Amino acid sequence: MPTWSGIRKKLEEDYLCPALRGRVRYFATTYRASHDQEGRAAILVDGVEVLKSSYYEYAIAIWDRKNDLRAQEGNDWESYRQIIKAVVDDGHFDQRDFYAAFQKFDNQSLEASLADENPIVRIFALLDRRLGKRRLAALEENMEQELDWVRPFYLLRMEAEGLGPREEKKACASSTATS
């Protein structure tokens, strides 16, 4: 696996759309002095951590979900996989998930990344320079079903590209047509 500085360079310079360069920064670290050498990851927009998570938040969320599951019978690995997916869907992950998402994103097509089950991969794809304005605008209907913590990255990209939601454009067009 490449170094974090190499991953960050690829994300911020090679993949990030020109309209967001300098505004979006990626952060991931491992705290080597901590007893488990765990860490955290974040995506910053204009210097503010918009998306952030750490191993400890992730572990607590998994523990809470497992306790809920223990009350039910029939625990198996499939249940555990569903717990992990639900925790990630809630916006909890650790730095290893961030690295793995980049690895997956870096090794598949943009179309596959946009449809990927991993929300972090989808965020990387939404901010990717290969995603053109027309394709970005066409994703609007899909974004209504997107996770609450992924949707802001779509809106950020739309705003950066000077695109607004279709309803606003339709409303503006109908109001000018009637005037």
Please count the other Cβ atoms lying within 10 Å of the Cβ belonging to residue 161. 17
> Quick one: pLDDT band at residue 166, thresholds 50, 70, 90?
low
Q: What is the pLDDT of residue 150?
A: 94
Buried b (16+ CB within 10 A) or exposed e, 102-113: bebbbeeebeeb
Of the two residues 75 and 172, the one the predictor is more confident about is 75
- Residue 165 CA from chain centroid, whole number: 20
> Quick one: pLDDT band at residue 77, thresholds 50, 70, 90?
low
pLDDT at 132 over 80: yes
Q: What is the pTM of this model?
A: 0.83
Q: What is the pLDDT of residue 134?
A: 93
Parse the chain into domains and list their residue ranges.
4-178
Closest of 103, 94, 116, 3 to residue 41, by C-alpha: 94
Q: Which one of 19-23, 67-71, 83-87 scores highest in mean pLDDT?
A: 19-23
pLDDT at 30 over 50: yes
Two tokens, residue 41: 């990851």
Give the full edge-to-edge strand order of the sheet including 24-30.
Answer: 24-30, 39-45, 48-54
Helical ranges in 72-165 per DSSP H: 77-89, 95-106, 110-114, 119-126, 133-138, 140-143, 151-160
